[in-house]
Structure 1
Amino acid sequence: MRLSTTTVGDGAKTAALVHGLSAHGGYWSEVAAWLASLGYTVTVVDQRGHGASDRADSYLTEELADDLVETLPAGLDIIVGHSLGGRALLLAADRLRPERAIYVDPGWNVPAGLSINLPVDESGDILSLKSLSELLPNYNPEQLNRLRRGFVLADPLWFQAPNPILPDLEPPLSPVVPSLVVLADPPLAVRPELEKRLRDGGYNVLTVPGGVHDMPIEQFELTKQALAGWV
């Protein structure tokens, strides 16, 4: 599937940003603007079943990776994948061959029994901005708008049993391209034994003290600090 994309900036360097589950390209607004200010042309994608991209009958990680390969050019300077986007990027990196791949708290070891559901009210509608603000007091109004838009546009099929179809992924023993793995503190879906294997195998692994899973939207300054040496 060819994905819907948005371009930010017009610099000589090239980047792509791949969001996580229930998000959309707008999730990356602050990160995309920052990269553009550093001289990048940034391609922001909406994964299948998210944002403005088409819905599908299937959402296997292999299909998400194929979508990236169909949509993005090979040889970009950097590609950043968050959570579900980190899953798709992992399986696409050997074909896209970016100069650098960055995985932000990637969803490689989804905890057993994890249930991911859309935040809905008693009538089944997505929670209002007011209700979301009460659940997420650290989010500003613009962040809440972006978050809610992702929930509204996400295909409900993503949240039906099995919920979702996200088996463990095993990264190659050595990275196919120079790779940075940015982990929350603690990571949501990277087990300690995998973290050790990544470090031993030549991946650059950075745990962000106090970092949360949704770092790119909730902790932009920490995200900048984590990515600074790689962009």
Structure 2
Amino acid sequence: MSPIDERIPTEHVEPTDERFTVAPGVGLHLRRWPGQRRPFLLVHGLSSNARLWDGVARILSAAGHPVTAVDLRSHGGSDAPPDGYDTATAAEDLAALGIRGAVVAGQSWGGNVVVSFAARHPELTAALALVDGGWLAPSAEFPSWEACESALRPPEIDGLPASRLREYLRDSHPDWSAEALAATEANLRVWPDGSLSRRLSVARHMSIVRSMWDDPPQPYYPDITVPVLLIPALPGNPTEAAARRSRVEAAAGALRDARIREYPAADHDLHAQHPTELAEDLLGLAAQVLP
């Protein structure tokens, strides 16, 4: 029997929204679900937000686990201080939350963040889940920083109508729930006139990308002793899927206790596209480190 079979929620569990000060003048927005078992800490990716984890978190909480999903600096409802837009600072912000013995999951850049966090704070980490991230190293994929910067710089979207974004999300993600689509829209601000603007500015976005270039996760792998579940979303293109599988297998081989769970032909935002299946994978990981 899978870990989730007897724990499907019978009612809708609503989170509480809280603020937590992690540094002077820096408050992070948290979404929290109740539970008495081992805690989960869920970390979003670059220019994303905590609400993308709602579907997963609800199931984890129904299985008895307290869950905290965090908005990192200048994401979601968190403060936007003038500095601290790098992987190492994000990892220290997580440590400041003081959640001990957690199963820590990070998606995309959030995977890189939780690798840094686990290496720096082993006393706070019981297990790691790397959701299509945690092995991202732009310096190994681009010939120069200039090439990386050109390829990964996000487009200017401030002032565009929110209706265009909603149409794009519906068309490009037909299998996503309305909840997941609304959570993705929350990556951006929607103003009373219906226009969009970024929560995380392009300059701060690129500061984080630069930190991914300068501070890849691979050097931290030898310091991680807890179980690690690598969860890649493989592209539908076989050549691209093989390249990603190779990177993930290399990461797993460098970690002390790692296994891989692939999602074929899946979206990068696995937590939005497949929340039930991902929650089951995370509960299985938690079962490795119970109680």
TM-score range (shorter-chain normalised) is 0.7 to 0.9
Give 1:174 shift: 6.1
Question: In the alignment, residue 68 of structure 1 is paired with which amino acid?
Answer: L
Q: Which residue of 1 aligns with 2:225?
A: 176
CA distance in 2, matches of 1:229, 1:26: 22
Change (3 A) 1:55 1:200: closer
After TM superposition, list the pairs within 5 Å mapping 1:130-145 onto structure 2. 130-145=167-182
Indicate yes or no: 2:257 matched with 1:230.
no
Give 1:34 shift: 0.5
More helix as a share of residues:
2
For structure 1, the residue ranges without an aligned partner over 5 or more in a row are none
CA distance in 1, matches of 2:115, 2:254: 18
Indicate yes or no: 2:94 matched with 1:71.
no
Indicate yes or no: 2:42 matched with 1:17.
yes
Change (3 A) 1:222 1:119: farther
Give 1:134 shift: 2.9
After superposition, the CA RMSD in angstroms is 2.9
Change (3 A) 1:174 1:159: closer
Percent identity for Structure 1 against Structure 2: 24
Give 1:86 shift: 0.9
CA distance in 2, matches of 1:139, 1:34: 17
- Match of 2:106, SS? strand
CA distance in 2, matches of 1:65, 1:43: 15
The TM-score with structure 2 as length reference comes to 0.68
C-alpha contact (below 8 Å) 2:56/2:271 kept by paired residues? yes
CA deviations 1:102-156 (Å, max 9, x no partner) are 11111522343342526837x4455442343234333333222110111226321
C-alpha contact (below 8 Å) 1:208/1:226 kept by paired residues? no
Q: Which residue of 2 aligns with 1:29?
A: 54
CA distance in 2, matches of 1:197, 1:140: 32
Q: Which residue of 1 aligns with 2:195?
A: none
Change (3 A) 1:180 1:128: closer
Structure with greater Cα Rg? 2
C-alpha contact (below 8 Å) 2:35/2:64 kept by paired residues? yes
